[in-house]
Amino acid sequence: MTTRRDLVQASRALSHTGILDAFGHVSARDGDMVVLPPAVPPGRAERDDLLEMDVEGRIVRGDGRPHDEHALHRRIYAAREDVGAVVHHHAPAVLPFVTAGEDIRPVSRLGAPFEDPIPVFDDFDDADGHLVTSDAEADRLAATLGDGLAVVLAGNGAVVVGETVREATVFTWYMAANAETQYRASHLGDPDPVGDEDSLAATAATLTNAIAVDRVWSYLTGG
Amino acid sequence: MTTRRDLVQASRALSHTGILDAFGHVSARDGDMVVLPPAVPPGRAERDDLLEMDVEGRIVRGDGRPHDEHALHRRIYAAREDVGAVVHHHAPAVLPFVTAGEDIRPVSRLGAPFEDPIPVFDDFDDADGHLVTSDAEADRLAATLGDGLAVVLAGNGAVVVGETVREATVFTWYMAANAETQYRASHLGDPDPVGDEDSLAATAATLTNAIAVDRVWSYLTGG
Amino acid sequence: MTTRRDLVQASRALSHTGILDAFGHVSARDGDMVVLPPAVPPGRAERDDLLEMDVEGRIVRGDGRPHDEHALHRRIYAAREDVGAVVHHHAPAVLPFVTAGEDIRPVSRLGAPFEDPIPVFDDFDDADGHLVTSDAEADRLAATLGDGLAVVLAGNGAVVVGETVREATVFTWYMAANAETQYRASHLGDPDPVGDEDSLAATAATLTNAIAVDRVWSYLTGG
Amino acid sequence: MTTRRDLVQASRALSHTGILDAFGHVSARDGDMVVLPPAVPPGRAERDDLLEMDVEGRIVRGDGRPHDEHALHRRIYAAREDVGAVVHHHAPAVLPFVTAGEDIRPVSRLGAPFEDPIPVFDDFDDADGHLVTSDAEADRLAATLGDGLAVVLAGNGAVVVGETVREATVFTWYMAANAETQYRASHLGDPDPVGDEDSLAATAATLTNAIAVDRVWSYLTGG
């Protein structure tokens, strides 16, 4: 139950920050099922609107229309047992990197939890542009994600994962904040990763533990 | 009736996003008539303030003063039977391109519905600067628009059209969002169109169908 | 009476837009007197807080403490019979030009009413940094303003004038909006004035007449 | 008592401006004690949540969990008898400089109270990335601060001090505003300090006296 409440709160909170807009979506794993909102602006979905989908992509509960990219969510859950929530977003701070083909790197503290650089997926099916709609396409995306926290979708946006909805939401905020800093810093000089590998790992640990996640979740949701 | 309600909502929603400000205007076709707001800030117009104008530019209903650029709207309706609504705006994200003479291109998904590049009109009458007020001037503008969705007015702003008020409003948001991404991406590298012609057409189809338009309209209006 | 109400509304409206912040001030001429707010954030002043000052800088009504730059206001009224209101601001869009010593030019429609470039005052007294506090200093500033609508104060901010509080407020918004467009456009290319001298004059006329001023005032104040 | 009320107000006001977000913290000296919020988003702390800590870092009042960087606050109070409040922040306007290793300089009026350039601390312990958690590390930071108002923490953020909570809050706003102007001005040219040493000192005096601090505090808190 908490998961469903968190999923609605996460969608609203990320909409309030502008990281989600008319598009983008948050999902959560619930046992063998995927819980996801219907094809509406993420900030508008109510708890009663949430759908449940099985691993094959069949709706087993709820009567709205799912969005077109549910394969993206389903196949990441299939590939990653540790993942409990997935955010697909087009954060304004991230899109310039997505568009210019420039790597996103951990140039600020908040970027420390991510791979350097965040991997880029660019092996789309031809039929529907840069949407990820087929299982095979989504499997290739999951392979690019590997065991990391995020992947950039060339010409589309990005995907962030976490063990819980709260983690995926907080890590999404970290990704957008780091990208904004990298964007601005790249005008002043040539920003490097903030510390060596050990230092980045130490910083990442301080940002991904339960206390930090609760703190940022509270900040984002007003909770 | 829906058209008039949508026209007022569109004007407010685009004002809330900052795409319209003190200036700019939305109009709609209603049979042989053009429905348009008086010369007030677009976010302030109430439904009872709306004017009806015939093809010659005579007010046939309502008693406010029309804005000076009604020819721009009337002549696009005359040239394009498929167009049911017109937005003239000066979005902050678009003005730098308008001013620098730099092309707006489909560098992000949301730019896919537009021509590459969006055509530029620069054949103004001399008498009133960069306003479009005469029928002849507006006819030249309509010719530059051709059968596309948008045209840039050099040194002024842009015009976006749609079959309905909702479409024109949603496409205006797409144009501004794509321009913002292009602006930022141009600092990081040299952004290219997001995919080849077929891929752009596939993406455009996903963004211009009724489901996508309803979704973005809901996002913009809170409806 | 209208002048005092407008002065309070102008201070709030320009604070809401971020053009005024903790600093900056709006004043108005009332016969031989200058009406000005005390040394508080401009968005906080109430009508009863307003002060009246004579041409020598003596408070003749009200009991608050005036801000330190009243000479700036008084001496512009002395030099310009046509001026009924003065705005001194540090708009975020204008400060980069002030700081970098780069000219502000009419690169967008909203810049058309101003001189090309807006003149720059840089002849400060040494005693108090870049504040304008002595009558002699303020007279030199008024001379730089000439018969124009605005002047940039090097390392400080800008001053905008109008016949009425509404005009000075609306022209301040024009100045900030044009500077923002110029700032952004300068990243994309080398923006030129939007049209030749005649075209600029025609555009300026459409932006400075009573209808346009009322429209923008309504936009800024919600009135 | 005023100090505690101001500390809560300062945390909220700096959160509203975006200078503080999920992280960052404000503290105050109270006799031999340090008053600081628990490890929650600074905008969420209530007065009853505040903790009191002795010079050794032991909580002597309150039952929340302190944040990890209390040494940073404690050791600055130990080194600087004149300091009554400390703000540690990651202002979005400051982070690009922190990340790019570019100096922050007094290029606008609001930068005048700070050293040119603001000193940079980069002598972190290895164990926990760019957090400042040990007393020895914090002592080195205090040495870099010297008798100035601010210090940049490489790859982390910045620290600003004042005699009172109000001063530290107002100076933090000055630092962020000056950094924003410097960032933008650096795109237009090569911004220099706004005046020579005497002029900067004169400007600093006008910005750090009690009247100016009250004015900006009122602006930031709505008080």
D165-219, pLDDT tens digit by residue?
A: 999 999 999 999 999 999 999 999 989 898 889 999 999 999 999 999 999 999 9
pLDDT band at C127 (very low <50, low <70, confident <90, very high): confident
| Interface contact D99, partner A, CB < 8 A | yes
* Chain A residues touching residue B108 (CB < 8 angstroms): 95, 98-99, 155
User: Which ranges of chain B have pLDDT less than 50?
Assistant: none
| Distances, alpha carbon B160 to alpha carbons B37, B104, B140, in Å | 17, 13, 16
D92:A203 CB<8 A? no
The pLDDT of residue A1 is 61
Q: Select from C99, C20, A58 the least CA-distant residue to D179.
A: C99
Total number of domains in chain C:
1
Neighbours of chain C (3+ CB pairs under 8 A): B, D
Q: Average the pLDDT over A158-174 and give the result.
A: 98
CA distance to partner chain D, nearest, from residue C170 (Å):
23
Return the structure tokens found at C144.
Answer: 């730089």
pLDDT of D155 higher than 80: yes
Task: Output DSSP code: residue C38.
Answer: B
**What's the rounded Cα separation, in Å, for the pair A20 and A10?**
10
Percent of chain A topping pLDDT 90 = 88
Using CA atoms of A106, A112, A116, A119 in order, give the dihedral in degrees to the nearest 10.
-100
Residue tagged 């990704």 (tokens): A175
The pLDDT of residue A213 is 97
Task: Give the Cα-Cα-Cα angle B110, B90, B151 (nearest 5 degrees).
Answer: 60
Alpha helices by DSSP H, chain A = 2-16, 70-79, 95-100, 135-145, 165-188, 197-208, 210-221
Q: Average the pLDDT over A107-133 and give the result.
A: 92
**What's the rounded Cα separation, in Å, for the pair D157 and D14?**
15
Read off the pLDDT of residues D70-116 as tens digits, 9 standing for 90 and up.
999 999 999 999 999 999 999 999 999 999 999 999 999 999 999 99
| Interface contact A76, partner D, CB < 8 A | no
Task: Output DSSP code: residue C135.
Answer: H
Position C218, amino acid: S
Position C55, amino acid: V
Position A82, amino acid: D
Helix (H) or strand (E) holding B66: none
pLDDT band at A97 (very low <50, low <70, confident <90, very high): very high
Q: Select from A204, A134, A179 the least CA-distant residue to A142.
A: A134
B39:C211 CB<8 A? yes
CA distance to partner chain A, nearest, from residue D124 (Å):
10
Output the CA torsion sign for A88, A94, A96, A98: negative
Of B188, B194, B199, the CB nearest to A97: B188
| Interface contact B1, partner C, CB < 8 A | no
B189:A100 CB<8 A? yes
D185:C126 CB<8 A? no
Length of chain B counted residue by residue: 223
Residue D38's domain is classified under what CATH number?
Answer: 3.40.225.10
Length of chain A counted residue by residue: 223
The pLDDT of residue C128 is 76
**What's the rounded Cα separation, in Å, for the pair D79 and D26?**
17
Which range of residues forms the domain containing residue B13? Answer: 2-221
| Interface contact B5, partner C, CB < 8 A | no
Helix (H) or strand (E) holding C220: helix C210-221
Q: What is the CA radius of gyration of chain B?
A: 16
| Interface contact A57, partner B, CB < 8 A | no
C181:B99 CB<8 A? yes
D184:C187 CB<8 A? no
Position A55, amino acid: V
Say how many CA atoms lie within 13 Å of B188 toward its Cβ.
26
| Interface contact A178, partner D, CB < 8 A | no
Classify D21 as helix, strand or coil. coil
CA nearest C69 in D: which residue?
A: D206
pLDDT band at A126 (very low <50, low <70, confident <90, very high): confident
Neighbours of chain B (3+ CB pairs under 8 A): A, C
CA nearest A173 in D: which residue?
A: D22
Read off the pLDDT of residues B110-152 as tens digits, 9 standing for 90 and up.
999 999 999 999 999 877 788 899 999 999 999 999 999 999 9
**What's the rounded Cα separation, in Å, for the pair B85 and B106?**
22
| Interface contact B105, partner A, CB < 8 A | no
B156:C109 CB<8 A? yes
Q: Are A220 and A17 in contact (CB under 8 A)?
A: yes
* Chain B residues touching residue C186 (CB < 8 angstroms): 100
Single pTM value for the model: 0.96
Read off the pLDDT of residues C56-87 as tens digits, 9 standing for 90 and up.
999 999 988 999 999 999 999 999 999 999 99
Stretch among A1-5, B107-111, D93-97, D154-158 having the lowest mean pLDDT: A1-5
Classify A38 as helix, strand or coil. strand
Q: Average the pLDDT over A164-191 and give the result.
A: 96
Read off the pLDDT of residues C135-177 as tens digits, 9 standing for 90 and up.
999 999 999 999 999 999 998 999 999 999 999 999 999 999 9
Which residues, 6+ apart, have CB-to-CB distance to A144 below 8 Å?
A119, A120, A121, A123, A151
Q: Say how many C-beta atoms besides its own lie within 10 A of residue B133's C-beta.
A: 19
| Interface contact C131, partner D, CB < 8 A | yes
CA nearest D180 in A: which residue?
A: A184
Of C107, C191, C202, the CB nearest to B128: C202
D194:C99 CB<8 A? yes
Q: Are B116 and B126 in contact (CB under 8 A)?
A: no
| Interface contact A13, partner D, CB < 8 A | no
| Interface contact A200, partner D, CB < 8 A | yes
Position D200, amino acid: L
Task: Give the Cα-Cα-Cα angle C7, C10, C14 (nearest 5 degrees).
Answer: 145
